[in-house]
Amino acid sequence: MLLKRMRFLTTSSTRTRRSASCCWSDPGVLIVSSQARHYVNQSAGKKFTEAVILNYVSMHEESTTRTPLVGFLSMGSDPTESIKSFAKKKKTECRDISMGQGQEVPSRRILTQSFQDGGWVLLQNCHLGLSFMDEVLETILTTENINPNFRLWVTTEPHPKFPINFLQNSIKFTNEPPQGIKAGLSRTYNNTTQEQLDISSAHQWKPILYSLAFLHTTVQERRKFGPLGWNIPYEFNQSDLNASLTFVQTHLDDMDQAGSVLGVCAVHDSGGAIRGESY
């Protein structure tokens, strides 16, 4: 154990200190990260280094009508689609709105409506509406009659001026992208519903779904190398994968029933666009 610790500390100390602007493409950062993961794995066990799949069911059971659930956004990981999918499983309407200038009025309206009918409210990108967060907290804490099925979900980037009272009264979670191909595929298939698996009767559907999941995981792993290979940095999040799956499924449904050959290629572009070709 002492030898492992000395090896890790030696590796760390030989790396020069990096500035705040460094990226994962820096070989020194990659080496230290790999050594740190190896040291924790050998010292404490695999469960401390393997990716943890976020459990929305347990979070929902822990929450109340007056306890917001705050998700911190990270590069390549947006919980919006997962929250909407979970609401669909619960057969609950999820009303979402992206915060920004002038969005306070519609936000108040959907909050009031959801208080009454027990729907969920998803306020996205709340770091763009910090001044409104105190009002939201006061509203859910002081409103007397709230449907017990109501829940408030919030997504935000980490921000030093995010109201501390809001965070203290909420359940906080983050959904960082998993490290490694195996963990990435596990996360993707955990977010895949039986309805998505059975949405197309074409025999090509499930193999293509796996191929897209593998492609998605691969490009997410590529982000650690910074801008190398891309025109601009891009998140490649769950929304991109869902868009590609919809694109492929649409082409499979339109495929000639006589059995003509159809080649489908869904390509993630740095900007979210998807190109398709059939031949």
Reported as a single tens digit per residue, the pLDDT across 92-127 is: 999 999 998 889 999 999 999 999 999 999 999 999
Cβ neighbours of residue 47 closer than 8 Å, sequence gap 6 or more: none
Whole-number average pLDDT of the chain: 77
Q: What is the distance of C-alpha 5 from the center of its chain?
A: 34
**Three-class SS of residue 104?**
helix
Residue 259: name the closest of 202, 212, 205, 208 by CA.
202
- Residue 23 pLDDT > 60, yes or no? no
Mean local confidence (pLDDT), 255-269: 47
Instruction: Provide the pLDDT for residue 254.
Output: 76
- Residue 211 pLDDT > 50, yes or no? yes
Mean local confidence (pLDDT), 223-239: 68
Which strand (E) or helix (H) includes residue 156? strand 151-156
- Asked if residues 159 and 130 have their Cβ atoms less than 8 Å apart, the reply is yes
- Asked if residues 155 and 69 have their Cβ atoms less than 8 Å apart, the reply is no
Higher pLDDT, 61 or 201: 61
Split at pLDDT 50, 70, 90, the class of 21 is: very low
d(C-alpha 259, C-alpha 50), whole Å: 44
- Asked if residues 230 and 236 have their Cβ atoms less than 8 Å apart, the reply is no
Instruction: Provide the pLDDT for residue 244.
Output: 85
Lowest mean pLDDT among 20-34, 123-137, 160-174, 199-213: 20-34
Lowest mean pLDDT among 53-57, 62-66, 159-163, 220-224: 220-224
In this structure, the number of other CB atoms found within 10 A of the CB of residue 227 comes to: 13
- Asked if residues 150 and 143 have their Cβ atoms less than 8 Å apart, the reply is no
- Residue 25 pLDDT > 50, yes or no? no
d(C-alpha 255, C-alpha 259), whole Å: 8
Instruction: Provide the pLDDT for residue 237.
Output: 74
Higher pLDDT, 134 or 259: 134
